[in-house]
Structure 1
Amino acid sequence: MDTSDDYDYQDYDYRDALNDSAQEENPFQHKTTCTKEVLCVFVLVVSVFIFLLGFFGNALVIWISGFKMKKTVNTTWYLSLAISDFVFCASLPFSITNMVMEEWVFGRFMCKFISSVMFLNMFSSIFLLVVISIDRCVSVVFPVWAQNHRTVNKASVVVCISWFLAATLSLPSLIFRDVGSHLGRTLCYNNYTSSQYSHKIIAVTRFFTGFVVPFIIIIICYSIISLRLRNNRMTKSAKPLKVMSALVAAFFVCWLPYHVFVLLELNHEHFDQTILIYGLKVSTFMAAANSFLNPVLYVFMGNDFKRKFKNSVLSKMENAMGEEGRTTSRYLSRSSSMDGRASTHI
Structure 2
Amino acid sequence: MNPTSQFLGTTEYDYGYDEDTAPCNEGNSFHRFKSLFLPILYCLVFVICLLGNSLVLWVLLTRKRLTTMTDICLLNLAASDLLFIVPLPFQAHYASDQWVFGNTMCKIMAGIYYIGFYSSIFFITFMSIDRYIAIVHAAYAVRVRTASFGIIISLILWLVAGLASVPNIMFNQQLEIEQSLQCVSTYPPGDNTWKIASQFSANILGLLIPLSILICCYTQILKNLQKCKNRNKTKAIKMIFIIIIVFFLFWTPFNIVLFLDSLQSLHIINDCKTSYQIALALQLTEAISFIHCCLNPVIYAFAGVTLKAHLIGLLQSCVRVLSRPARGAGAGQLFSVPIQLSSCSDSAGFL
**Pair 1:198 & 2:209 matched:** no
- Give the TM-score normalised by structure 1: 0.78
**Pair 1:112 & 2:112 matched:** no
Give the count of matched residue pairs: 311
1:85, CA displacement in angstroms?
Answer: 0.6
Judged with a 3 Å threshold, the aligned counterparts in structure 2 of structure 1 residues 272 and 110 are, in CA distance, closer, same or farther, namely same
Paired residue for 2:279? Answer: 277
Write the letter of the residue equivalent to 1:284.
E
Give matches, 1:70-89, under 5 Å: 70-73=65-68, 74-89=70-85
Give matches, 1:23-62, under 5 Å: 37=32, 40-62=35-57
- The root-mean-square deviation of aligned C-alpha atoms, in Å, is 3.5
1:286, CA displacement in angstroms?
Answer: 1.0
Paired residue for 2:118? Answer: 123
* Aligned 8 A contact 1:140 1:332 in 2: yes
Match of 1:258 among 251, 254, 258: 254
Write the letter of the residue equivalent to 2:207.
F
1:165, CA displacement in angstroms?
Answer: 0.9
1:250, CA displacement in angstroms?
Answer: 2.7
1:51, CA displacement in angstroms?
Answer: 0.9
CA distance in 2, matches of 1:11, 1:19: 23
Structure 2 unmatched ranges of 5 or more? 265-269, 317-335, 347-351
**Pair 1:134 & 2:129 matched:** yes
Match of 2:213 among 211, 217, 223: 217
* Aligned 8 A contact 2:168 2:198 in 1: no
* Aligned 8 A contact 1:65 1:71 in 2: yes
Paired residue for 1:329? Answer: 340
Aligned-partner SS, 2:66: coil
1:87, CA displacement in angstroms?
Answer: 1.3
Judged with a 3 Å threshold, the aligned counterparts in structure 2 of structure 1 residues 86 and 21 are, in CA distance, closer, same or farther, namely closer
Aligned-partner SS, 1:294: helix
CA distance in 1, matches of 2:304, 2:127: 17
Write the letter of the residue equivalent to 1:100.
S
Write the letter of the residue equivalent to 1:198.
W
Judged with a 3 Å threshold, the aligned counterparts in structure 2 of structure 1 residues 38 and 223 are, in CA distance, closer, same or farther, namely closer
Judged with a 3 Å threshold, the aligned counterparts in structure 2 of structure 1 residues 300 and 143 are, in CA distance, closer, same or farther, namely closer
**Pair 1:165 & 2:167 matched:** no
1:12, CA displacement in angstroms?
Answer: 2.1
1:267, CA displacement in angstroms?
Answer: 2.9
Judged with a 3 Å threshold, the aligned counterparts in structure 2 of structure 1 residues 281 and 196 are, in CA distance, closer, same or farther, namely closer
Q: Percent identity?
A: 22
Paired residue for 2:178? Answer: 183
CA distance in 2, matches of 1:135, 1:291: 20
CA distance in 1, matches of 2:31, 2:160: 42
Higher-helix-fraction structure: 1
Paired residue for 2:5? Answer: 5
1:331, CA displacement in angstroms?
Answer: 3.4
1:329, CA displacement in angstroms?
Answer: 1.6
CA distance in 2, matches of 1:204, 1:230: 37
**Pair 1:92 & 2:103 matched:** no
Aligned-partner SS, 2:173: strand
CA distance in 2, matches of 1:7, 1:189: 6
1:168, CA displacement in angstroms?
Answer: 1.0
Write the letter of the residue equivalent to 1:295.
P
CA distance in 2, matches of 1:314, 1:84: 24
| Bigger mean CA offset, 158-167 vs 36-45 | 36-45
